[in-house]
Amino acid sequence: MPVRTSEIIQFTNCYLADKSKLIKKDLFVDTNSGKIIEPPKEEIGVEIVDLNEAIISPGFLDIQINGCFGLDYSTTFIDETSKEKFIHDYNNSMVGLLKYGVTSICPTVTSSFSNVYKDILSLLGETRSSSQADSLGAHIEGPFISPLKKGCHPPETITTMSNGYESLYERYGHNFEKYTAILTAAPEIDGCMDVISKIVDNDKIVFSIGHTMADFDTGLQAVKNGASMMTHLFNAMPTYTARDVGVVGLISATSDELSKSKIPFYGLVADGIHVHPSAINLAYNANPYKAILVTDALYLIGCEDGIYERGNQKIEKKGHLLHLDGTSTIAGSATYLLDCVHNLIKWTGIPIEKALATITNNPAKALNISNKKGFLNPDCDADLVILTKSGNIKQVYKLGQMVYDLA
């Protein structure tokens, strides 16, 4: 890596991919604060980096990723040694993600018993690092979901919110809010609808509709109560039909049903396995400013093909395809986030700057962190991905420090 000669970097001869636009403009970074800054009044002490017409994108945000490189985030510890090993492997995995342009994630914990949440959530809370990907806070996916749309979630862990908000404390622990960014649940289950408003009351946790049998009207009420996202659209929810649109219909709700600003953000797994390319095209064009690409990656991403055990389940990995062994049930993905972006470009015909917004601007807006992540605005963290015009990664910067260089 080159030795830094100044506190301020001026990236020049480059295109900024931000807000679905591609603009030829210089970008200034303060390496001390790790933030993007306004152009300084004096040019003295500014290090100029000529990018030869490359593209600068905000660092990629993956807000649904269950693990990577052999590490499963839904785990518990038998002793202090196993906990220390997890922390070591977790930090290494967060370094490994940088190579793929992923600078922030919501480490996702799927439906589990209370011991898992109480062991793991405090380790997955928000971070800010110049040497590895950040956690934006955990994404708790379940166990308050419909048993009819459980997917690969262990059925024995699924439960209701019959005790109201206390049900969350019983399963997640009393400090779960401190470490959580997203909570996915099915609004129709016992007790859930009344709890949504309290979950989102602190403006930190996003309630996401997922693994649900809810119809359109139930989903609409959940949004009015504070739900602002949907987890992996089309997957683990009722099929959209002409007269029974289900919660999928929320993404194109009419103005008399929902104001444009209240239409929820929605995750899309554009791996060509979870959702048909035609459906991805349809969903993206319904509301491109609310579409968020996620990997839904399981811990097997980066691992060799084969049969792997996860708790009491066996998962078969074949390339990017993950199934519960011996079934057709999808068990997450093994496709990298930038590959999903390239798929979106291919299937929709949109330019790269619009596709990149689905893994930068849109997730940042969904999580209410646009003031610090996901944009190239002054005062945002200088988490940057330098791309060729064809969308291949050349370099990655974390808080203004180069952490990956393929140039």
7's tokens = 């506190």
User: How far is residue 320 from each of residues 259, 304, 323, 337, measured CA to CA in Å?
Assistant: 38, 10, 10, 12
* Cis amide leading into 187 (omega within 30): no
201 vs 226: CA distance, rounded Å: 8
Find residue 385's DSSP bridge partners: 57, 396
Q: Which amino acid, 136?
A: L
SS3 113: coil
153: left (phi over 0), alpha (psi -120 to 50) or beta: beta
Find residue 54's DSSP bridge partners: 14
Binding-site residues from annotation: 141, 152, 211, 232, 235-236, 243, 274, 330-332
Binding-site residues from annotation for substrate: 152, 235-236, 243, 274, 330-332
Cβ atoms of residues 315 and 303 within 8 Å:
no
The catalytic position among 296, 305, 339, 405 is: 296
58 vs 383: CA distance, rounded Å: 6
b/e sequence 20-40, b meaning 16+ C-beta within 10 Å: bebeeeebbbbbeebbbbeee
**Residue 26 designated active-site:** no
289 vs 7: CA distance, rounded Å: 35
Binding-site residues from annotation for Zn(2+): 141, 211, 232
Q: Is the dihedral of CA 121, 317, 281, 19 positive or negative?
A: positive
SS3 147: helix
210 vs 141: CA distance, rounded Å: 8
Cβ atoms of residues 18 and 361 within 8 Å:
yes
Q: Which amino acid, 203?
A: D
**Cβ-proximal residues to 157 (8 Å cutoff; 6+ apart), any chain:** 111, 112, 113, 142, 143
Query: Is residue 387 classed exposed, middle or buried when 0-12, 13-18 and 19+ CB atoms within 10 A define those classes?
Result: buried
93 vs 84: CA distance, rounded Å: 14
Catalytic residues, by residue number, are 296
